[in-house]
């Protein structure tokens, strides 16, 4: 499981938790489908490996159950 207070990369100050919140805000604002969320997660993890959970299921599990 990701450490929500740990920075996503040594050259940035954004944490995993902050990126998760920003990603959630983006997906909600644009009413993304599960397929689009999965693609966004893959894109972000390609740019910065390991920055987000690897699946929509895990993303939603944390989102809805803390």
Please tell me the predicted confidence (pLDDT) of residue 42. 94
User: Could you report the per-residue pLDDT of 48-65, keeping only the tens digit for each?
Assistant: 998 888 888 888 887 776
Q: What is the pLDDT of residues 19-42, one digit of tens each?
A: 999 999 999 999 999 999 999 999
Total-model pTM: 0.81
Q: Are 8 and 48 in contact, with CB atoms under 8 Å apart? A: yes
| DSSP states along 15-56 | BHHHHHHHHHHHHHHTT--HHHHHHHHHHHHHHSTTSS-SSH
Q: Is 60 helix (H, G, I), strand (E, B) or coil?
A: helix
Contact indicator for 21, 33 with CB cutoff of 8 Å: no
Cα separation of 62 and 52, whole Å? 11
Domain boundaries, the chain: 16-65
């Amino acid at each position: 499981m990701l450490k929500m207070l740990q920075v996503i990369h040594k050259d940035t100050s954004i944490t995993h938790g902050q990126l998760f919140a920003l990603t959630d805000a983006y997906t909600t604002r644009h009413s993304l489908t599960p397929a689009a969320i999965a693609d966004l997660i893959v894109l972000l993890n390609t740019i910065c490996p390991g920055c987000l959970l690897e699946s929509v299921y895990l993303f939603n599990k944390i989102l809805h159950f803390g």
